[in-house]
Structure 1
């Protein structure tokens, strides 16, 4: 520094007075507001409401009881003792299920149209266990074939195609084949009536 500069500095410094209070509040710089979603605490997602419990599915009503196909006791005794005549009979020996059903339906419809009251349907008892013999195809024992018809015929008689023809059903007495045959009491149909069309065995 030259002598002139030093003299100038001293003259300026002599004119400066010291400050009494050094506690000067310096304003803090304003910071820009943070952008949405940046630096802000995450909010907890709203709790999912549980869906209301599903309505309980109502249980289907029980099926209506099947119509009881019975022959009154006095009439049944007359049939089993031979006092009440059998108006017609059908023997299902040798039939398969499909042909047995068709024969049964045609027989009952014809008997009802003719005014028959009591008919006999022979299903066969089935041979005792261990009995030999096979059907014509050689694949099914004969006792099984006969046993199927014995249990199937009462079921068929309750199906819509035949039920409107039948009043009662009962196992035959020893005079007419015992448990291998059925007495069927028919509802009489007039000659001009049109019986329902029979379907297939279920």
Structure 2
């Protein structure tokens, strides 16, 4: 599975074929004294080079209760209902633990995923984007026309070099006066 550096809005779903008592050891990275990851079974099984833990979820499907996996994907992950409907039978037959990996987990790092057991790829789904509509602005002040290509806005006249020279003399003088004022008050 290819992850591009510009990937956005994809959700990868994996079944996690492990007994419940082994999930914590699989999910949690092992750190050395310097805070570097020395071992992470999830990393080995997914075959990634970089993954932000804040954008992955591992949970038992039974936690979804009446919502179910398809409902969670539509309501919780923002997948289009039509996309989930195509795989509804396969999704509803899933049991046990599930791994959800969002595109944000890769933080723009292009890489190749090569999932291995205990992971079993279920599918990759696209988050449904907000509908775009182009409506007229409600306020009367928003009406009018933009300048045409030939029109030029007026610019202040003067020599930019003189303006810079004036600023170079004025700013230190203003700072000196401000400092004297503070010294006089204290």
TM-score, with length taken from structure 2 = 0.20
Higher strand share: 2
Larger of the two Rg values belongs to structure: 1
